Amino acid sequence: MTLLYENKPESIIKIEGPYSDFAIEYLSLLLQGKRQLASTMILDAIKKGTDVKDVYLHVFQPSQLEVGRLWQSNQISVAQEHYCTASTQMIMSQLFPYVIRQEKNGLHLLAICVGGELHEIGMRMVADFFEMDGWDTYYIGANTPNQTIVETLQTTEFDLIAISATMTYNISLVIELIKKIRSLEQEKKIKILVGGRPFNIASNLWRKVGADATAKNALEAIETANMLVNKTF
């Protein structure tokens, strides 16, 4: 197969990383507009025993980050970026039967992207990891107004709220939302986990916005969440 995508030293997909060849081929297919072939490749790998979590962490995540880098450096168009993201979201939906677990642990997650935040694929990955860990998840997509989130909290009980912000200018909305959540009498003890690019760059930002913790990826989010709800954090 001729790869459209050329893995270079500055690439986020590291040559020595796990599943790097898989990720490179996957991204190349998407950049060629071959979504169906990319989907078939992923589904075949899952059916042959590849762990869904490995696909999320080592194929989807680095590919999406690399798409963002390529777009920011003007190596691909916004149309290509949107196509790659939409394709990965579609393929993730095809994996749902492998994500959902019949055995539940009794814990409930509210997964949200603040108002104005249009980048939701990272939070979708996080929510799927929680499902695979046995949580019941209430996933709300991109650009959710703070008032809608507060109303949801007043009608449904959750053990943890995961909040995502990819763009720095949305941090003010995260601060505002957390203040609103903390002001609710029934939510004072609920744990709040934040994530996204600004929190990965500024290691103590999660403290400044009033959260209980942060996580750099979906696997770390699960580990941190379980410590938070079990009061070992």
Q: Which domain holds residue 54?
A: 20-98
Q: Are residues 149 and 35 in the same domain?
A: no
Q: Are residues 112 and 213 in the same domain?
A: yes
Name the burial class of residue 20, with classes exposed (0-12), middle (13-18) and buried (19+) by CB atoms within 10 angstroms of its CB.
middle
Q: Which CATH number belongs to the domain containing residue 41 in this structure?
A: 1.10.1240.10
Would 14 be classed as within a structural domain?
Answer: no
Q: What is the pTM of this model?
A: 0.86
- Per-residue pLDDT of 85-136, as tens digits, reads 999 999 999 999 999 877 899 999 999 998 877 788 999 999 999 999 999 9
Paired residues of 123 in beta bridges: none
What is the tally of structural domains in the chain? Answer: 2
Q: Are residues 176 and 159 in the same domain?
A: yes
Q: Are residues 206 and 108 in the same domain?
A: yes
Q: Are residues 94 and 156 in the same domain?
A: no
pLDDT grade, residue 2 (50/70/90)? very low
Would 4 be classed as within a structural domain?
Answer: no
Boundary of a domain, candidates 49, 64, 98: 98
Q: Is 233 helix (H, G, I), strand (E, B) or coil?
A: coil
Q: Are residues 136 and 209 in the same domain?
A: yes
CA-derived radius of gyration, the chain: 18
Boundary of a domain, candidates 51, 77, 98: 98
Q: Which two three-digit tokens encode residue 197?
A: 């690019």
Residue recorded with tokens 């609103």:
180
Residue recorded with tokens 């103590």:
204
Q: Are residues 114 and 220 in the same domain?
A: yes
Name the burial class of residue 113, with classes exposed (0-12), middle (13-18) and buried (19+) by CB atoms within 10 angstroms of its CB.
buried
Q: Which two three-digit tokens encode residue 84?
A: 């790659």
Of residues 47, 56, 70, the one with CA closest to residue 22? 56
Amino acid at 200: N
Q: Are 15 and 42 in contact (CB under 8 A)?
A: no
Average pLDDT across the chain, whole number: 89
Q: Are residues 73 and 105 in the same domain?
A: no
